[in-house]
């Protein structure tokens, strides 16, 4: 007798993406009931009033007649050529349009580049905390994500010596997210050089997730990984979503550099996978050349006085005023990874707190455990709202933490009396 139950595939057993999980679903339910929710769980610029630059919108509209059919599986030539020229301008001289793959956002490309590479049981070194799609995609493609720690005590930069101790005969690749999501860390040149050297020594493919490449604050220097990787294959992944505030266009790219001659079979496999999905979204691809070659308006947003800079500062100042919170000041990207002081709330649980904050203060954050860390003391927020909104939100967060502290203090006093 066939069962009436339709189970999910067992391949999903260890796959998590809590950023759009239980908490986000509850927030949607509350909004349908009429509650106004301040959502800080996801970096979606359009929700907070940011617009895609007008020149990009016009480029897409003007080329719409050329966007009605399928394009080459790697993407339209002008978009791939623009990416190659950006890499050349950065000092990666041997990259051509043939080395570039356009995808439906970096998200699709993360899946494709791993699927073309991994055998069952192969290992990929992934940062912890990470952007959870990397861990999920490794798992879905039969691999094992081995997390290398990026600790707050070191400004959330990885320790190359610690990474080296995790390399085994099954290790195939290393993921580097810089500027980092969720921590906002921007890695030093010395750290990146050491990782590049390690990857070359063990012939690991380097996946450089650089979607926030132009988003740096103060004196932080972004160093493109491809300029340092010479003795192995490097894939630079980026796109229009964040820097160009065009998440809905779903346009990302992977540019390959380094020892491509040794990776011919792998790159052919990647082209095969790209062919199976025919091509990426064509209209959005027509905005790439204008985006990369035009005025970089993101610079106005991240410099002192710019909206993203001021919102980031509001987070830093709010944490400094808090009785409970601590943070490593983000030097790049769109996020801050906020810690809760263990001496003030030793039993703090990030997921429970996030749900209480949503239900009682109508603020949605992403619990730190969502980012594959072994501790439960952090949560991530985005700095996309205005400084004024963030100051209000952190006031509500402080009230919720104070409520928790008072409640637990009362329970502790009751135990003493009993």
pLDDT on residue 42: 87
pLDDT on residue 409: 58
Per-residue pLDDT at 386 exceeds 70 = yes
Give the largest CA-CA distance in the chain. Answer: 78
Per-residue pLDDT at 412 exceeds 60 = no
- Rounded Cα gap, residues 385 and 52, in angstroms: 16
* pLDDT tens for each residue of 240-259: 999 999 999 999 999 999 99
Domain around 224: 54-293
* pLDDT tens for each residue of 14-33: 777 777 788 999 999 999 99
Give me the number of domains the chain comprises: 2
pLDDT on residue 417: 30
- Rounded Cα gap, residues 216 and 40, in angstroms: 20
Indicate which CATH number applies to the domain containing 113: 3.40.640.10
> 388 and 239, same structural domain?
no
- Rounded Cα gap, residues 397 and 82, in angstroms: 44
> 212 and 91, same structural domain?
yes
> 141 and 289, same structural domain?
yes
**Quick one: pLDDT band at residue 269, thresholds 50, 70, 90?**
very high
| Under 8 Å between Cβ of 271 and 73 | yes
pLDDT on residue 2: 59
**148 phi/psi in degrees, rounded to 5:** -100, 135
* pLDDT tens for each residue of 138-150: 999 999 999 999 9
CB neighbours (10 Å) of residue 400? 19
Mean pLDDT within 92-118: 96
Indicate which CATH number applies to the domain containing 341: 3.90.1150.10
- 352: Cβ contacts below 8 Å, ≥ 6 apart: none
Which helix (H) or strand (E) covers residue 106, if one does? helix 105-115
- Rounded Cα gap, residues 402 and 5, in angstroms: 45
Mean pLDDT within 392-413: 81
End residue of a domain, out of 293, 323, 355 = 293
318: three-class secondary structure by DSSP: helix
Average predicted confidence (pLDDT) for the chain:
93
Which helix (H) or strand (E) covers residue 336, if one does? strand 335-340
- Rounded Cα gap, residues 128 and 368, in angstroms: 10
> 312 and 221, same structural domain?
no
| Residue 92 or residue 410, greater confidence | 92
Q: Is 181 exposed, middle or buried (0-12, 13-18, 19+ CB in 10 A)?
A: buried
- Rounded Cα gap, residues 191 and 199, in angstroms: 12
5 Cα distance to chain centroid: 35
End residue of a domain, out of 293, 315, 338 = 293
End residue of a domain, out of 271, 293, 315 = 293
> 60 and 16, same structural domain?
no
* pLDDT tens for each residue of 296-337: 999 999 999 999 999 999 999 999 999 999 999 999 999 999
pLDDT on residue 17: 73
> 285 and 207, same structural domain?
yes
**Quick one: pLDDT band at residue 411, thresholds 50, 70, 90?**
very low
Per-residue pLDDT at 202 exceeds 90 = yes
- 227: Cβ contacts below 8 Å, ≥ 6 apart: 90, 91, 92
Domain contains 31: yes
Entry pTM: 0.93
- 62: Cβ contacts below 8 Å, ≥ 6 apart: 286
> 155 and 71, same structural domain?
yes
**Quick one: pLDDT band at residue 410, thresholds 50, 70, 90?**
very low
**What percentage of residues in the chain have a pLDDT greater than 70?**
97
Q: Which two tokens stand for residue 1?
A: 């007798």
Residue among 43, 97, 18 at smallest CA distance from 256? 97
Q: Which two tokens stand for residue 108?
A: 């699709």
């Amino acid at each position: 007798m066939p069962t009436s139950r339709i189970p999910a595939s067992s391949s999903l057993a260890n796959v998590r993406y809590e950023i759009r999980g239980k908490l986000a679903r509850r927030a949607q339910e509350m909004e349908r009931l009429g509650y106004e929710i301040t959502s800080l769980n996801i970096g979606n610029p359009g929700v907070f009033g940011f617009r895609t630059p007008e020149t990009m919108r016009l480029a897409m509209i003007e080329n719409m007649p050329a966007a009605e059919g399928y394009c080459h599986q790697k993407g339209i030539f002008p978009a791939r050529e623009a990416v190659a020229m950006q890499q050349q301008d950065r000092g990666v001289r041997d990259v051509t349009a043939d080395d570039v793959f356009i995808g439906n956002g970096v998200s699709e490309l993360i899946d494709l580049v791993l699927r073309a590479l991994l055998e069952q049981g192969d290992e990929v070194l992934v940062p912890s905390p990470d952007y959870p799609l990397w861990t999920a995609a490794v798992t879905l493609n039969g691999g094992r994500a081995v997390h290398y720690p990026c600790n707050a005590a070191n400004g959330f930069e990885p320790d190359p010596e610690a990474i080296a101790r995790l390399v085994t005969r099954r290790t195939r690749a290393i993921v580097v997210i810089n500027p980092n999501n969720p921590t906002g860390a921007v890695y030093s040149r010395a750290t990146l050089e050491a990782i590049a050297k390690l990857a070359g020594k063990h012939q690991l493919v380097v996946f450089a997730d650089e979607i926030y490449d132009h988003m740096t604050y103060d004196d932080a220097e972004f160093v493109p990984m491809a300029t340092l990787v010479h003795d192995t294959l490097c894939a630079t992944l980026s796109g229009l979503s964040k820097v160009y505030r065009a998440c809905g266009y779903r346009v990302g790219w992977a540019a390959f550099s380094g020892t491509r001659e040794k990776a011919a079979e792998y790159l052919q496999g990647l082209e095969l996978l790209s062919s199976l999905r025919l091509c990426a979204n064509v209209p959005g691809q027509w905005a790439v050349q204008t985006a990369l070659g035009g005025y970089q308006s993101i610079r106005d947003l991240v410099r002192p006085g710019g909206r993203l800079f001021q919102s980031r500062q509001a987070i830093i100042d709010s944490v400094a005023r808090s009785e409970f919170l601590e943070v490593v000041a983000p030097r790049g990207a769109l996020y801050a990874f906020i810690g809760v002081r263990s001496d003030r709330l030793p039993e703090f649980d990030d997921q429970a707190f996030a749900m209480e904050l949503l239900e009682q203060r109508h603020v949605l954050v992403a619990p730190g455990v969502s980012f594959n860390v072994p501790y439960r003391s952090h949560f991530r927020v985005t700095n996309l709202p205005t400084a004024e909104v963030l100051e209000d939100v952190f006031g509500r967060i402080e009230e919720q933490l104070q409520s928790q502290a008072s409640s637990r203090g009362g329970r502790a006093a009751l135990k003493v009396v009993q």
